[in-house]
Amino acid sequence: MTSDRLLVIGGTGLVGQPVACALRGEGYTVRLLVRDARRARALLGEGYELVEGDVTDGTAVERALDGCAAVYVSLRAAGTPQEMERVEHQGVVRVAAAARRIGIARLMYVSGSFVGEPLAAGAPGDQAKRRAEEAIRTSGVPYTIFRPTYFMDTLPRHIQGRFAVVLGRQRQALRMVAATDFAAMVVRAWRVPQAAGCALYIQGPEAITIPDALRQYCRLVEPGKRAVTVPLGIMAAVDSLLAGGKLRHTLDVMRLLQRVGEPGDAGEANRLLGAPTTTVREWCERRRAARQGVHVAENGQRRPT
């Protein structure tokens, strides 16, 4: 049992929730900064310290950080440039400044794989993440920045009615990672001193295209659904007409993946933190088993949930 307390910001999210769960599973005291405590309790269950507040509120951030050894930040704002600037950049600025004042030993942040790439410099969402990374680097707080390409856990988000929607002609294979594998890497990043001062690309064990991964997902988890491609130009028009530009960041990333494929080399992350092992097929089989009320352990053993 360890005495460290860690703060997770974004712990109700797709990527933050498995991290909060893994840290707690390793015996850490986990505190969450959440906007809605009741919703957080319903999602994550008991066993977490909850501080209610918004990441853009400096007082709430300071209150949440007080008494913590480290902080992990995994935020996603609605994808308009203004919201990403307000939440991702300005929120991280507040976290970094409070972490500096309090003497936090490690600030861990989930960025994006294109953030260091000159090609992505014009994408507004990546600009907010780029500025957030810069605020962390110049804060004087020891940090670890993670740059994942794509989480397998995102596959269900492609389902729209009877279709699994692929945004753009995604012909380039990329190394998707399971959020549970990533969570284990975050735990190690906190424990491994050499992970301080690093920006690490995070990639899974096999290269697969988004359409192929979605076809596996449909076959194993959502039979009857069909993968269809929607051109990025059409999706961008629908987004600006009907969704207020909320998909802007996602579409920017998909455009870059379509054009240049997966950036970065995960060698350093794998050496320091252990390489992820879960394949898309294994992830889908676990997901299918979970739907049927069965838990599949990493060694393949099955038990009722």
Ligand X SMILES: NC(=O)c1ccc[n+]([C@@H]2O[C@H](COP(=O)([O-])OP(=O)(O)OC[C@H]3O[C@@H](n4cnc5c(N)ncnc54)[C@H](OP(=O)(O)O)[C@@H]3O)[C@@H](O)[C@H]2O)c1
Stretch that binds ligand X, among 147-155, 212-220, 233-241, 278-286 (CB under 6 A): 147-155
Q: SS3 for 200?
A: strand
Whole-number CA gyration radius for the chain: 19
Binding status of residue 55 toward ligand X by CB under 6 A: yes
Binding status of residue 148 toward ligand X by CB under 6 A: yes
| Burial classification of residue 161, based on how many CB atoms lie within 10 Å of its CB (0-12 exposed, 13-18 middle, 19 or more buried) | exposed
Cβ contact 181:19 at 8 Å: no
CB of residue 128 to ligand X, shortest distance in Å: 9
Binding status of residue 74 toward ligand X by CB under 6 A: yes
Instruction: Give the residue, chosen from 6, 7, 16, 93, that forms a contact with ligand X under the rule CB under 6 A.
Output: 16
Binding status of residue 217 toward ligand X by CB under 6 A: no
Residue 72: strand pairing partners? 8, 108
- The residue with its CB nearest to ligand X is 13
Cβ contact 276:182 at 8 Å: yes
Looking at this protein, which amino acid is placed at residue 231?
Answer: P
Residues 6+ apart with CB under 8 A from 28: 2, 4, 5, 6
Please name the helix (run of DSSP H) or strand (run of DSSP E) that holds residue 7, with its range, or none: strand 5-9
Binding status of residue 230 toward ligand X by CB under 6 A: no
How many residues sit close enough to ligand X to count as binding (CB under 6 A)? 23
Stretch that binds ligand X, among 32-40, 188-196, 256-264, 276-284 (CB under 6 A): 32-40
Q: Which CB, 34 or 227, lies closer to ligand X?
A: 34
CB of residue 110 to ligand X, shortest distance in Å: 4
Residue 6's alpha-carbon distances to 12, 101, 222, 274, in angstroms, are 15, 16, 36, 21
What x/- string results for residues 85 through 114 when contact with ligand X is judged by CB under 6 A? --x----------------------x-x--
Q: Which CB, 155 or 218, lies closer to ligand X?
A: 155
Binding status of residue 12 toward ligand X by CB under 6 A: yes
Which tokens hold the place of 88?
């991702």
Instruction: Give the residue, chosen from 56, 172, 258, 277, that forms a contact with ligand X under the rule CB under 6 A.
Output: 56
Cβ contact 274:259 at 8 Å: no
Q: Which residues bind ligand X (CB under 6 A)?
A: 10, 12-16, 34-36, 54-56, 74-77, 87, 110, 112, 148, 150-151, 154
